[in-house]
Amino acid sequence: MATVMQKIKDIEDEMARTQKNKATAHHLGLLKAKLAKLRREILAPTSKGGGGAGEGFDVTKSGDSRVGLVGFPSVGKSTLLNKLTGTFSEVASYEFTTLTCIPGVIKYRGAKIQLLDLPGIIEGAKDGKGRGRQYRKNLQLHHHSSGRNQAHYTQEAHRERARRIWNKASLLCFLDSLSLHCLRMRKDKGGINFTSTVSNTLLDLETVKAICGEYRIHNADVSLRYDATADDLIDVIEGNRMYIPCVYAVNKIDQVTLEELEILDKLPHYCPVSAHLEWNLDGLLEKVWEYLDLVRVYTKPKAMSPDYEDPVILSAKKRTVEDFCLRIHKDMLKQFKYALVWGSSAKHKPQRVGKEHELDDEDVVQIIKKI
Ligand SMILES: Nc1nc2c(ncn2[C@@H]2O[C@H](COP(=O)(O)OP(=O)(O)OP(=O)(O)O)[C@@H](O)[C@H]2O)c(=O)[nH]1
Ligand SMILES: [K+]
Ligand SMILES: [Mg+2]
């Protein structure tokens, strides 16, 4: 019987032989799904109770949201953590200085953001090499997103140079607080439905059906929120990826020429910094803040002025008055009568609202309780 490795090789050979075009798209999709399943077999722990696989780094979540620093060894992750949080994480010129996850806290605009310094990743980490599995479990990284973004930003001629700089000094700040599922599936009756809210060029119904079929999924609504690939779909089916926003902080710009900077400038979601010389750290924080998409809500006790020092931090996706109450106290809703809101979400000053009302950044809220 063919070994798993043999089977993988056979499929890879077949994929290499198969011409890429519309007619073969669904067959290629099918092969990719088979490949993903075989790879998972290899990665699955063979000994029972052996543990290890899939363990996250042992760090207690704290603060209003989390940001992980991910990047190749010696790109300056620890230097950045130290500068931004005042924590101590060892810095050295050799690779793999940091061997565990070191947390620090950034206090920014009234929010506490936990920053995680992580050991350097190596090629193939996403397939479970090195500490890849730990990464995956902990932050549920989406390595493809970097691939996709990188593919967009340069022409062929620039790609190699950009990659070189990229490998030398890029950090990915993965923002862990919001999960942005770009692809959604729902099991249901009625076969496979395929819809898309954006123009999609990479997947068609037949390919989607072929891939789903390989996983014995016969009823599902597959809806795309971006131009997803067959690999993306497989990831979602395998359930091992979460799509989270990220900022590409390109470090060590003190060592990069102006010409190189211009190339990097075409990166989407990009922010140049020098952690060592503390260049543009404010810019990075501002960008991270923007991507975290948090909402600050100031509480106003009765007959007193609002507390602007210590806002309640909500995510832009969950920012109703109810979410606000739950953050203050779990029993608050029981006593809730209505709320008064000042700020951009309010039509009057103040507006009287119910618990479904959605709050905006920097709104002021006073909760009126039942007597
Ligand atoms: N020129 C320059 N050097 C930097 C900068 N940031 C960090 N370095 C240097 O890069 C080297 C590696 O920095 P670290 O902070 O240890 O890198 P790391 O990404 O945490 O490395 P690992 O933990 O080994 O993965 C050190 O010698 C730093 O002094 C920078 O902005 N400019
Ligand atoms: K290092
Ligand atoms: Mg380090």
With 60 as the cut, is the pLDDT of residue 18 above it?
A: yes
Q: Report residues whose beta carbon is within 6 angstroms of any ligand 1 atom.
A: 71, 73-79, 91-93, 95-98, 119-120, 251-252, 254-255, 274-277
Task: Name the residue at shortest CA distance from atom 16 of ligand 1.
Answer: 91
**What mean pLDDT is predicted for residues 170-175?**
52
Task: Name the residue at shortest CA distance from atom 1 of ligand 1.
Answer: 252
With 80 as the cut, is the pLDDT of residue 19 above it?
A: yes
| Per-residue pLDDT, 42 | 63
CB 247 within 8 A of CB 84: no
CB 256 within 8 A of CB 270: no
With 90 as the cut, is the pLDDT of residue 162 above it?
A: no
With 80 as the cut, is the pLDDT of residue 81 above it?
A: yes
With 70 as the cut, is the pLDDT of residue 125 above it?
A: no
The CA distance from 196 to 110, in Å, is 38
**Counting beta carbons within 10 angstroms of the beta carbon of residue 93, is it exposed (0 to 12), middle (13 to 18) or buried (19 or more)?**
exposed
Which of 131-135, 238-242, 330-334, 364-368 is least confident? 131-135
**What mean pLDDT is predicted for residues 297-308?**
93
Domain 65-179+242-292 belongs in CATH node 3.40.50.300: yes
Q: How confident is the model at residue 108 (pLDDT cuts 50, 70, 90)?
A: very high
Instruction: Tell how far the Cα of 102 is from the centroid of ligand 2, in angstroms.
Output: 14
Task: Name the residue at shortest CA distance from atom 10 of ligand 1.
Answer: 76
Instruction: Tell how far the Cα of 32 is from the centroid of ligand 1, in angstroms.
Output: 37
With 80 as the cut, is the pLDDT of residue 147 above it?
A: no
With 50 as the cut, is the pLDDT of residue 105 above it?
A: yes
Instruction: Give the whole-number percent of the chain exceeding pLDDT 90.
Output: 29
Instruction: Tell how far the Cα of 145 is from the centroid of ligand 2, in angstroms.
Output: 25
Q: Which atom of ligand 1 is nearest to the CA of 255?
A: 1
The CA distance from 164 to 321, in Å, is 48
Q: Which atom of ligand 1 is nearest to the CA of 274?
A: 31
| Per-residue pLDDT, 322 | 96
Which is more confident, 192 or 334?
334
Q: How confident is the model at residue 163 (pLDDT cuts 50, 70, 90)?
A: low
| Per-residue pLDDT, 195 | 82
Q: How confident is the model at residue 129 (pLDDT cuts 50, 70, 90)?
A: very low
Task: Name the residue at shortest CA distance from atom 14 of ligand 1.
Answer: 76
Q: Which CATH superfamily is domain 294-369 in?
A: Beta-grasp domain (3.10.20.30)
Highest mean pLDDT among 28-32, 93-97, 159-163: 28-32
| Per-residue pLDDT, 245 | 67
Task: Choose one of 83, 165, 276 to mutate for the ligand 1 pocket test, by most ligand atoms within 8 angstroms of C-beta.
Answer: 276
pLDDT in tens, 34-71: 888 877 766 554 433 333 333 445 577 788 888 888 77
Instruction: Tell how far the Cα of 277 is from the centroid of ligand 3, in angstroms.
Output: 17
| Per-residue pLDDT, 214 | 84
Write down how long the chain is: 371
Which amino acid is present at 183?
L
Residue extents of the structural domains in the chain: 65-179+242-292, 182-236, 294-369
Q: What is the pTM of this model?
A: 0.65
